[in-house]
Amino acid sequence: MAESAVVPGLEGVPATQSSISHIDGTAGLLSYRGYPIDQLVAQSTYEEVALLLLDGELPDTSALERFDTGLRSHRQVKYNVREIMKFLPVTGHPMDLLHCAVASLGMFYPQQELSDAERENVSHLDAMAMRIIARIPTIVAMWEQMRFGNDPLPTRSDLNHAANFLYMLTGREPDPLYARILDACFILHAEHTINASTFSVLVTSSTLTNPYHVIAGAIGTLAGPLHGGANQKVVEMLEEIGTPSRIAGYLDTRLSRREKIWGFGHRVYKTRDPRAAILKDMMENLASQGHLRHSHLFDIAMELERQAGERLASKGIHANVDFYSGVLYHEMGIRTDLFTPIFAMARSAGWLAHWREQLGNNRIFRPTQIYSGASARHYVPASQRSCDTA
């Protein structure tokens, strides 16, 4: 096989066939199961979108009610998980905590191997997915309380998915406006075809391991700054810039060094990320209603997008979802290092939809390689080896 056959990063190489989501990178369109993302954000809820992703169709009222009731009733985690969390360093990143805690769930809710019948049982797979989707926000909110010396707050079955998370995170009655904004953010982040973490889901699922291992692996992949961690980097970048007057100099320096501008560019989109456009509109609405806490960051973000666009748009580099999601979470008073765990909370629905799809037509992933090492050699005992100092 010729060396030119290697495709770094597998860019453009189809790895699977999926009916879950679709991106038109040229037109800047994203759809879940055929439904445009802007329609789902405007008219649906995260609970409904999660079930759409899992089952392929918008649920009827009774099916949605059953799924929502299941989410509300399975938010609690075993006290043993909390005990594990107590022994982890409070200085650790919440993504490291989440990776550890989700992996540990498999010991308390064991499902070592799915039989052929179970892999074909839609209700059984939905129930497994629902429990994982329900518990990830609980773990994130528990850690936010515990790392500051507080006991975790109990879950509330009277609140929806987003509102319950805000309550557990802050201990305050959730602002309905912020709960709806967070719900919209969950929808926007729920699924995005075969990105790095979703490819991790496919590979891990193909071994028929339990879904806790699958999701823990995806969380570890998402943690990287070139994937889910970019939204945290955006806010750090905006704080470093500090004022709109320093944007031009910042761009000059970064671009001259060929350094990344966080929140810009995407492997698939050749125009603006539609999720970024929706988030920007949401932020503009918040600003007009006086709901932004630190609007100077939003001012910097808007001006940075304008100036970066003048320099980069012709190269197909535009603002992506990470650019505004980090700013929006910051304005809601959410700590910066929680941005990526929130991404994981939302994306769990898409990950589990791909887990289910992989199980339906499974073949273990086993790619090949092009060897570039030494040719055949004979072993030489240590006493007969000499160091080449030339």
In the three-class reduction of DSSP (H, G, I as helix; E, B as strand; rest coil), residue 364 is classed as coil
Among 266, 318, 330, 354, the one annotated catalytic: 266
- Asked if 24 is an active-site residue, the reply is no
The closest alpha carbon to 133, from 56, 204, 218, belongs to 218
The encoded tokens of residue 122 equal: 């839609």
Give all strands of the β-sheet with 29-32 in edge-to-edge order.
21-24, 29-32, 35-36
The encoded tokens of residue 223 equal: 């943690």
Dump pLDDT digits (tens) for 97-136. 999 999 999 888 766 567 777 777 878 888 899 999 999 9
Q: Which CATH number is 230-331 given?
A: 1.10.230.10
CA distances from 388 to 15, 385 (A): 44, 9
- Residue 294, pLDDT score: 61
- Residue 111, pLDDT score: 64
- Residue 2, pLDDT score: 45
Query: What is the CB-side half-sphere exposure of residue 284 using CA atoms within 13 A?
Result: 7
Please tell me the CATH superfamily of domain 19-173+191-225+340-360, with its number: Citrate Synthase, domain 1 (1.10.580.10)
In the chain, where the domains are located: 19-173+191-225+340-360, 230-331
- Residue 1, pLDDT score: 40
- Residue 118, pLDDT score: 75
- Asked if 266 is an active-site residue, the reply is yes
- Residue 240, pLDDT score: 93
Dump pLDDT digits (tens) for 39-69. 999 999 999 999 999 999 999 999 999 999 9
Among 126, 273, 322, 354, the one annotated catalytic: 322
The share of the chain scoring above pLDDT 70, in percent, equals: 96
> With 70 as the cut, is the pLDDT of residue 389 above it?
no
pLDDT mean over 68-77? 96
Dump pLDDT digits (tens) for 6-38. 888 888 888 899 999 999 988 999 999 999 999
Phi, psi (5° rounding) for residue 366? Answer: -150, 75
In the three-class reduction of DSSP (H, G, I as helix; E, B as strand; rest coil), residue 21 is classed as strand
The closest alpha carbon to 350, from 196, 223, 225, belongs to 196
Q: Which residues of 292-301 are buried (b: 16+ CB within 10 A; e: fewer)?
A: beeeebbebb
Helix axes 196-205, 339-360, angle to 10 degrees: 40
Dump pLDDT digits (tens) for 214-225. 999 999 999 988
